[in-house]
Amino acid sequence: MDNLRVNGERLWQSLMEMAQIGATEKGGCNRLALTDLDRQARDLFVSWCQQAGCTISVDKIGNIFARRPGRNDDLPAVGTGSHLDTQPTGGKFDGVFGVLAGVEVLRTLHENNIETEAPLEFSVWTNEEGSRFQPAMQGSGVYVGRFDLETEWNKTDVNGIRLKDELERIGYLGDEEPGSRNVGAFFEAHIEQGPILEDEDKTIGVVRLGQGIRWYNIKVRGRESHSGTTPMHLRKDSMVASAAVVSEIENIAHRHPNGLGTVGFMQVYPNSRNTIPGEITFSADLRNPDPQVLQTMHDQLVAFCDQLAGQRGLEIEVDHFWYFAPVEFNASDDVKAAAEALGYSHMDIYAGAGHDACYMADLVPTGMVFTPCENGISHNEVENTRPEQCEAGANVLLHAMLGASARIANDRQ
């Protein structure tokens, strides 16, 4: 099977067909989790997998698993997959490429009548983006036991609509217990979502680490009062305090190698032009691939907020509601071996964003395949990559999965 390759043209056509579901005027996708558009995308994935001979299972959090039998169907399966939901102004490739690269691997094996030693499974994970329901990577998080199923079922969106009700409404509230699949290795292909591969002129990124992430909701409570009658020294201005915290988040990120800090969401009350804001709620996102450094960044943020609250005589509540520990990808040697065998230029890299594979690494040896992303732009309607880059990533995924299947079979002998 050394000469086996995917059909790059077919892969690209599949990506473009999927991109029509939720297509935006600027060329991106708006396909939020568990909407009717998400259902359409899921249905298309299921139909493609069934046409290639797979059986379909859905678990209680809505994760989809398409199974292709192996020569020894009792062996643990080699899995691959990603997500089909997008950001409100998302692109055509984030997550979707990983799902459809898997579909192309499946089709390639099916049309060539190739029987693998271990079974293969192709998955779609529920609500990876965390845009409509929080947190991100919700389906894979429930699957590996990071999140409680009942708790996540009861999460609501901004309109108060419950996640479990939406799963049932769109027909993807399955009956399989999360975490019950017999999986021996997992791979995820993904656009890099950053500029490094493009800058280094490399075709494949061999992902060795997944970045650690800490998410916060920060609430600053001051006192709203008239902007024209309240002297500066008598104000409890939540906006000025919030601005200081936002600035410190940037400072913390700069203070540490590979540190990242972002504030991307803010609500102001009462949000009036001539009223000093009384309460502001905003997000904070800290990231670092080193767990000790990330802990230090956390400690510095909390200490700064405590000190600032005392200095300004107001309240600052720091709700650290999600921690995603840095991840080591122990199956990335399969990715590197496949890239080398196929003659693709490659480099080791770490994942700056969260991915479903990061949670799967809790359970089984896991690897990630990165492909270049034009100008490093993602979570944006102009997100782009090239057909030949997608084809290369899918070829590496194919041979990494074949290698893992053979290894699992050898380990059981």
Query: Taking the model in full, what pTM does it have?
Result: 0.84
Question: Which of 348, 357, 360 is closest to 144 using CA atoms?
Answer: 360
Residue in this structure with the two tokens 């709700």, named with its chain if needed: 319
Provide the terminal-to-terminal Cα distance of the chain, rounded to the nearest Å.
Answer: 21
Specify the pLDDT at position 352.
84
| Homologous superfamily (CATH) for 8-211+326-412 | Zn peptidases (3.40.630.10)
pLDDT tens digits for range 146-196: 999 999 999 999 999 999 999 999 999 999 999 999 999 999 999 999 999
Using the Cα atoms of residue 337, residue 343, residue 349 and residue 352 in order, give the sign of their dihedral.
negative
Specify the pLDDT at position 112.
98
CATH fold group of domain 212-324: Alpha-Beta Plaits (3.30.70)
Specify the pLDDT at position 36.
98
pLDDT tens digits for range 292-310: 999 999 999 999 999 999 9
Question: Which of 85, 92, 35 is closest to 381 using CA atoms?
Answer: 92
Low-confidence ranges of the chain (pLDDT < 70): 413
Q: Which amino acid is residue 237, in one-letter code? A: D
- The CA distance from 372 to 8, in Å, is 16
Beta pairing partners, 79: 121, 186
Specify the pLDDT at position 6.
98
- What are the structural domain ranges in the chain? 8-211+326-412, 212-324
Q: Residue 207: which H helix or E strand, with range?
A: strand 204-210
Specify the pLDDT at position 412.
80
Question: Which of 29, 102, 32, 90 is closest to 66 using CA atoms?
Answer: 102
- The CA distance from 76 to 126, in Å, is 22
Specify the pLDDT at position 52.
98
Q: Which amino acid is residue 281, in one-letter code? A: T
DSSP for residue 162 = B
Domain 8-211+326-412 shares a fold with domain 212-324: no
Q: What is the mean pLDDT of the chain?
A: 97
CB atoms closer than 10 angstroms to residue 216:
22
